[in-house]
Amino acid sequence: MKIVSILKNLGPGLLYAGAAVGVSHLVQSTRAGASYGFGLIGILILANILKYPFFEFAPRYAISTGKSLVHGYKKIGNWALILYAILTLSTMFIITSTISIVTAGLLSSLLGLSINIKWASMGIMVLTMLFLIIGKFRLLEKGMKYIILVLTASTVFAIIFSFKSELTGTYNFDWTNAIDIAFLIAFIGWMPAPIDISVWHSTWTEAKYKNVNEKPNLKAAIRDFNIGYIGTAFLAIGFLALGAFVMYGSGQEFAAKGVTFAGQLVSMYTDSLGHWAYYVIGIAAFTTMLSTSITVLDAYPRVLEPTFSLLLPSKKLKGKNSNRYYLLWMVVLILGSWGLMFWFGKSMKFMVDLATTISFLTTPVLAILNYWAVLSVPIEEQPPMWLKIYAWIGMVFLSLFSVFYLIWKYL
């Protein structure tokens, strides 16, 4: 009965997993395995460990206050909220368009269709928007449980059948190579996810418990988050392993175009494992990107609506007006992302690396803001001392790494 109760209460943690397991896993983790074998697995694990506290603060803040981290940033000061708004606006079109292109490319490859990738991307975004408008948060939460289940099962199945006792490649990571360093920065930037996803998580937690008459259980919310967070870490290792077992040492490189990349990804696995693997890999890859497409299209409007409501109090949004502005932001997101495809759609790798590098450089800033915000909750619900020390270690390390990158890049 306890397991049934835990599964029933899973929600925001799985939405976090749906958002996190996307480009960072399917593209970046697979690229890491394909290029460096298991050479970057230690970096992958370290990134997951160092960022943990700052993601954990999201459900803790939301349960303790009944509000999202957007309100926490407002408490710190308008400058913090403005900084978050700038970060969100500067990356949301890049991220959404990249995700849509990869999702459409995978669908095209899976169905064996030759379609215009830009119109297919628009179709996926519009269908996702209708899904969210009609089903609202309840359908989003329930649907994600099934998507994550299919994603996990198909990925594990693919890893088992792609296992090799030896890797044939000889290329190792070179700390003096500019290309290797640039990839490392992009890899860490979105591993396991950009820290701004913690704000999304807090809004989903707020939405889940909005109409609950009694205060939700903090331990249950943290447990829900831990299941999602640890699960995404294992899936990241899984995609890196897939890249290492199937592509490492093959001499092939990923294409920059999204649709070419999608077909290349599935065909590489098929050539290595056999034609039977086509649909297993295809389903694993497509559900990965579908889960991200749905959560991203919901998350950006969900965080932008309260962000600008707090920044522009005279335009405070409530009730039906709040839903109206949620829809408005969604339309802006779709149109802006679609427009960006026409400018940079041919170079998916450039778009991914740009967005991940921005996320990397802003990681320590958002980490500090999340820590600052969570210290404002009641003392009995603040992080325990060990977690605060853990967070300080993470903030120092992430800050030093960002400084190292800036010195390496410009000096």
Computed over every residue of the chain, the mean pLDDT equals 81
Q: Is the pLDDT of residue 384 over 70?
A: yes
| 261 confidence band (pLDDT: 50, 70, 90) | low
Question: Over the chain, what HEC string results?
Answer: CHHHHHHHHCCHHHHHHHHHCCHHHHHHHHHHHHHHCCCCHHHHHHHHHHHHHHHHHHHHHHHHHCCCHHHHHHHHCHHHHHHHHHHHHHHHHHHHHHHHHHHHHHHHHHHCCCCCHHHHHHHHHHHHHHHHHHHHHHHHHHHHHHHHHHHHHHHHHHHHHHCCCCCCCCCCCCCCCHHHHHHHHHHHHCCCCCCCHHHHHHHHHHHHCCCCCCCCCHHHHHHHHHHHHHHHHHHHHHHHHHHHHHCCCCCCCCCCCHHHHHHHHHHHHHHHHCCCHHHHHHHHHHHHHHHHHHHHHHHHHHHHHHHHHHHCHHHCCCHHHHHHHHHHHHHHHHHHHHHHHHHHCCCHHHHHHHHHHHHHHHHHHHHHHHHHHHCCCCHHHCCCHHHHHHHHHHHHHHHHHHHHHHHHHHC
**Residue 241 pLDDT > 70:** yes
> Confidence band (pLDDT; 50, 70, 90) for 68?
very high
Say which residues have a Cβ less than 8 Å from residue 310's Cβ, sequence separation at least 6: 70, 71, 74, 81
Range of the domain at 145: 2-410
Q: What is the pLDDT of residue 271?
A: 64
Give the pLDDT mean for 96-112: 80
Q: What is the mean pLDDT of residues 236-254?
A: 77
Please give the pLDDT value at position 238.
87
> 394 or 5: whose pLDDT is higher?
394
- Does residue 172 register a pLDDT over 80? no
Are 357 and 406 in contact by the 8 Å Cβ rule? The answer is no
Predicted confidence (pLDDT) at residue 71 exceeds the cutoff of 50? yes
Spatial separation of the C-alpha atoms in residues 124 and 108, rounded to whole Å: 12
Quick one: which of 20, 291, 348, 286 has its CA closest to 158? 286
pLDDT band (50, 70, 90) for residue 213: low
User: Can you give the pLDDT at residue 52?
Assistant: 96
Percent of the chain scored above 90 by pLDDT?
27
Give the pLDDT of residue 5: 53
Q: How far is CA 108 from the centre of its chain?
A: 23
Percentage above 70 pLDDT, the chain:
81
Q: For residues 104-112, give the mean pLDDT.
A: 77
Largest CA distance in the chain: 64
What is the per-residue pLDDT across 123-163, written as a single tens digit (0 to 9) for each?
889 988 888 888 777 767 677 777 777 777 777 777 777 77
pLDDT at 347: 59
At 294-352, the pLDDT tens digits run 889 999 999 999 999 898 876 555 555 567 888 899 999 999 988 888 776 555 567 66
- Residue 283 CA to residue 336 CA, distance in Å, equals 28
At 151, which amino acid appears?
Answer: L
Q: Highest mean pLDDT: which of 11-25, 135-149, 202-216, 387-401?
A: 387-401
pLDDT digits (tens, 9 = 90+) for 12-50: 888 888 888 777 787 788 888 888 888 899 999 999 999
Q: Say yes or no to pLDDT of 371 above 90.
A: yes
pLDDT (0 to 100) of residue 200: 92
Q: What is the number of structural domains in the chain?
A: 1
| 234: number of Cβ within 10 Å | 12
Q: What is the pLDDT of residue 257?
A: 57
Sign of the C-alpha dihedral, residues 16, 19, 23, 26? positive
For residue 366, name the pLDDT band (cuts at 50, 70, 90).
very high
Short-list 204, 199, 207, CA closest to 87: 199
Half-sphere exposure of 241 (CA within 13 A, CB side): 17
Q: With bands split at pLDDT 50, 70 and 90, how would you rate the model's confidence at 196?
A: confident
State residue 404's pLDDT score.
84
Asked whether residue 6 carries a pLDDT value surpassing 60, the answer given is no
CATH number at residue 172: 1.20.1740.10
Pairwise CA distance, residues 44 & 41, whole Å: 5
Axis-axis angle for helices 2-9, 218-246 (nearest 10): 80
Q: How confident is the model at residue 359 (pLDDT cuts 50, 70, 90)?
A: confident
Least confident of 42-46, 58-62, 402-406: 402-406
Region 385-394: what's the mean pLDDT? 95
Contact criterion met (CB below 8 Å) for 301 and 329:
yes
- Residue 1 has a pLDDT of 43
pTM value is 0.85
